[in-house]
C-alpha cells in the first residue's frame, strides 16, 4: 500500500481525506501566462489527477517543479475532501466562515459610512 499524503503548511488543522500515490496521475507540462522565456522553456507546471473522482488540478505558482508538486497535492487533497464530504468538509466550513466574516465587515463599513454622512449633514445644519 502506498503512503498517505499529508498537506504541509498552515492548513494542517483540517481533518482531510488521505490520498495515496496509486490514486494519482501526475504530468509536467509547460505553464502559461506571463513570464516569457522562463515560462515557455521549462516543464514545471504540474497537472495532477485523482483517478477515482476524476478531479484535475493544475499548479504553476512557482518556478520550482518540486514546490508546484507539493502545492498541487495540497489543493487536490482539499478538493477531493470537499467532493466526498460536501458540507461536512472542514474546507467547506472554513470557506463559509470566511464569507460570513467578509459580509459582517462589509456591513459594519456601510453602517460607519452612513454614520459619517449623517454627522456631516448635522454639522451643515448647525452652520446655517
pLDDT in tens, 16-29: 677 888 889 999 99
34 with 66, same domain? Answer: yes
Q: Is residue 37 part of a domain?
A: yes
Helix and strand numbers (H, E) in the chain are 3, 5
Enclosing domain of residue 42: 21-86
Is 111 part of a structural domain of the chain?
yes
Query: How many structural domains does the chain have?
Result: 2
Which DSSP helix (H) or strand (E) runs through 3?
none
User: Does 104 lie in the same domain as 55?
Assistant: no
Query: What pTM was estimated for this model as a whole?
Result: 0.61
Same domain, 44 and 74: yes
Which range is least confidently modeled, 13-17, 60-64, 66-70, 81-85? 13-17
User: Tens digits of per-residue pLDDT, 23-56?
Assistant: 899 999 988 777 777 777 888 899 999 998 899 9
Q: Are residues 106 and 79 in the same domain?
A: no
The dihedral region occupied by 36, where left means phi > 0, alpha psi between -120 and 50, and beta the remainder, is: left
Q: Is the pLDDT of residue 104 over 90?
A: yes
Amino acid at each position: 500500500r502506498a503512503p498517505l499524503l499529508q498537506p504541509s503548511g498552515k492548513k494542517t488543522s483540517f481533518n482531510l481525506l488521505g490520498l495515496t500515490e496509486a490514486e494519482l496521475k501526475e504530468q509536467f507540462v509547460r505553464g502559461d501566462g506571463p513570464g516569457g522565456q522562463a515560462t515557455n522553456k521549462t516543464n514545471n507546471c504540474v497537472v495532477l489527477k485523482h483517478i477515482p473522482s476524476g478531479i484535475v488540478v493544475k499548479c504553476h505558482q512557482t518556478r520550482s517543479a518540486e514546490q508546484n508538486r507539493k502545492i498541487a497535492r495540497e489543493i487536490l487533497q482539499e478538493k477531493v475532501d470537499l467532493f466526498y464530504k460536501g458540507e461536512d468538509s472542514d474546507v467547506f466550513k472554513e470557506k463559509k466562515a470566511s464569507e460570513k466574516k467578509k459580509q459582517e465587515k462589509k456591513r459594519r463599513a456601510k453602517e460607519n459610512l452612513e454614520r459619517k454622512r449623517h454627522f456631516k449633514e448635522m454639522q451643515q445644519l448647525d452652520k446655517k
